[in-house]
């Protein structure tokens, strides 16, 4: 690719045309909204509240150390993504990056895997309302009975609440990108303020010192227990790449996206670590009640019923915005792949409304997530296994980027692209000489964590010991995803090759039709 010039007239639109696309999406997202997209996907208030008890149940207070370990690993991945975001500012980032680094087949499977994983994650985020709303007010238990997610009434009510959330997020995503960005940014602001106040409140009511994180009394399973406890952090610290998904709607994306990808992860990592430490210091007791009640129990016990409910309402808002952000990222992946004619109903799914919304893609994601909610009916263990599996798929999609990136780096990437600058005429984000070791460690970490996530543990996939097949659920879903992907790719491969032949990794100004297809 030729050196990208510092353009004076609509440089971001020129960036899209350089990659063979037209500017269809509206550029209305600024720096803060770009950061909000990644931060709200991670959503530490939502996910740490959901999963605190899980991590503590495996390793006691020492589970805290799995958080910085996973955070460091994800920082390595985020640094690689930031380097790519400045060079390929295109919607459907994971798909587009992997396609350009590893070829069309790898790119297609990365996108396919990402869509499936994100649809499940949308459903999981929506169903999180059951863990919070009935605790705020019993009237939110619309289906009378036990509000526990593991009970029939709790699981049924979770479906009802989830349907309401998905309806609202689908409407917002169908209206206009500007509306989505405003709602997302407002929600993230509330979450940031709430997280900061929660940290201060818990530290001010602490019963023990920070040395509690060195207490090994709950660590009975050794290294295996820590690996299982690491799943909590692994579940939380994903989705920071969403800022890259919105590149075609972001002002000055070559400059903005790399920074906001890293900023979203760093703020989430530091904030999450402080919440975990504060909760361990403030917990009324470090026993089974903390495992079952989790962070919500700590908050209501220490801050009282009224203020506890106020903080839980902030968690509700965070969960809603998290669902919205994940659905938005998924629609952009569908739009990007449909634009390349690689998905069924591509012509419909790639349509953009006058307000810049991908309405058909948003409705599709809402329908698919709704269907997945039904899985939770009376079988919460199935949904837990499905949710765990979607994180495995996300890590594999990330590997479809970092793996080919490492191979290409050994062949001379990114030097082969020449000098590239952002919209201000400054060099784009680059790891320089640190690129190779960072990339290598990112691949090693990704492989290790994917194996750890998919390992058939009874405590994670079949805690009741009644459904042994659930222990292998991750491996089964991975197999189904691969087979389904192969069938779908085979059905669309001719249209894909024809479309890709018109797309290009071409220099700006070159004739896209003259660029040969680069089969993966």
What digits encode the pLDDT tens for the residues 449-495? 999 988 888 777 776 666 777 778 778 877 877 787 777 677 666 66
3-state secondary structure of 421: strand
Which parts of the chain have pLDDT scores under 50?
A: 1-10, 503-520
Exposure string for 20-39, b = 16+ CB within 10 A, e = fewer: bbeeebbbbbebbbbbbbbb
What digits encode the pLDDT tens for the residues 376-421? 666 656 666 667 778 888 999 999 999 999 999 999 999 988 889 9
- In this structure, what are the phi and psi dihedrals at residue 388, rounded to the nearest 5 degrees? -60, -40
CB-count exposure of residue 69 (10 Å: 0-12, 13-18, 19+): middle
Residues 6+ away with beta carbon under 8 Å from 38 = 239, 240, 241, 242, 243, 260, 261, 263, 264, 265
| Beta bridge partners of residue 4, listed in sequence order | 420
Please give the pLDDT value at position 150.
Answer: 64
- In this structure, what are the phi and psi dihedrals at residue 355, rounded to the nearest 5 degrees? -90, 5
Please give the pLDDT value at position 253.
Answer: 94
Please give the pLDDT value at position 511.
Answer: 34
Domains in the chain, start-ordered, CATH in brackets? Answer: 33-500 (1.20.1740.10)
274: nearest Cα among 75, 67, 81: 67
Q: Which pTM does this prediction carry? A: 0.89
| Dihedral over alpha carbons 58, 60, 61, 64 (to 10 degrees) | 0
| Beta bridge partners of residue 250, listed in sequence order | 29
Q: Using omega within 30 degrees of 0 as the cis cutoff, is the peptide bond preceding 295 cis?
A: no
311: nearest Cα among 477, 199, 214, 230: 199
Please give the pLDDT value at position 507.
Answer: 36
């Amino acid at each position: 690719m030729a050196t990208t010039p510092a353009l004076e007239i609509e440089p971001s639109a020129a960036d899209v045309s350089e990659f063979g696309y037209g500017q269809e999406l509206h550029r209305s997202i600024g720096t803060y909204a770009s950061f909000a997209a990644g931060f709200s996907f991670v959503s530490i208030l939502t996910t740490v509240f959901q999963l605190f008890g899980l991590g503590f149940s495996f390793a006691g207070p020492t589970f805290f150390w799995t958080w910085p370990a996973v955070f460091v690993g994800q920082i390595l991945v985020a640094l690689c993504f930031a380097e790519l975001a400045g060079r390929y500012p295109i919607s459907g980032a994971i798909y587009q990056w992997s396609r350009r680094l590893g070829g069309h087949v790898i790119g297609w499977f990365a996108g396919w895997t990402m869509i499936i994983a994100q649809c499940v994650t949308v459903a999981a985020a929506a169903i999180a309302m059951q863990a919070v709303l009935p605790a705020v007010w019993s009237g939110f238990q619309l289906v009378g009975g036990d509000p526990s997610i593991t009970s029939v009434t709790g699981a049924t009510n979770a479906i009802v609440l989830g349907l309401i959330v998905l309806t609202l997020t689908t409407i917002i995503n169908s209206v206009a990108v500007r509306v989505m960005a405003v709602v997302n940014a407002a929600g993230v602001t509330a979450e940031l303020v709430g997280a900061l106040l929660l940290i201060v409140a818990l530290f001010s009511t602490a019963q023990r010192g920070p040395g509690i994180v060195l207490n090994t009394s709950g660590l009975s399973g050794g290294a295996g227990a820590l690996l299982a406890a690491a799943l909590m952090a692994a579940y939380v610290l994903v989705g920071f790449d969403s800022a890259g998904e919105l590149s075609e709607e972001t002002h000055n994306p070559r400059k903005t996206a790399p920074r906001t990808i890293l900023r979203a992860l760093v703020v989430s990592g530091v904030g999450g670590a402080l919440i975990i430490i504060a909760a361990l210091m403030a917990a009324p007791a470090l026993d089974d009640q903390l495992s079952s009640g989790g962070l919500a129990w700590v908050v209501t016990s220490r801050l009282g019923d009224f203020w506890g409910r106020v903080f839980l309402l902030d968690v509700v808002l965070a969960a809603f915005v998290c669902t919205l952000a994940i659905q938005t990222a998924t629609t952009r992946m569908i739009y990007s792949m449909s634009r390349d004619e690689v998905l069924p109903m591509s012509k419909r799914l790639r349509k953009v409304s006058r307000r810049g919304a991908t309405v058909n893609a948003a409705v599709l994601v809402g329908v698919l997530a709704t269907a997945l909610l039904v899985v939770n009916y009376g079988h919460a263990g199935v949904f837990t296994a499905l949710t765990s599996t979607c994180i495995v798929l996300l890590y594999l999609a990330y590997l479809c980027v970092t793996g080919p990136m490492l191979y290409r780096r050994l062949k001379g990437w990114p030097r082969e692209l020449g000098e590239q600058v952002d919209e201000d005429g400054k060099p784009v984000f680059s790891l320089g000489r640190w690129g190779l070791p960072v990339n290598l460690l990112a691949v090693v970490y990704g492989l290790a964590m994917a194996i750890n996530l998919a390992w058939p543990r009874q405590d994670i996939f079949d805690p009741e010991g009644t459904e042994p097949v659930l222990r292998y659920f991750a491996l089964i879903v991975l197999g189904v995803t691969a087979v389904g992907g192969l069938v779908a790719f085979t059905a669309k491969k001719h249209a894909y090759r024809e479309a890709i032949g018109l797309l290009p990794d071409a220099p700006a100004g070159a004739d896209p039709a003259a660029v040969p297809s680069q089969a993966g």
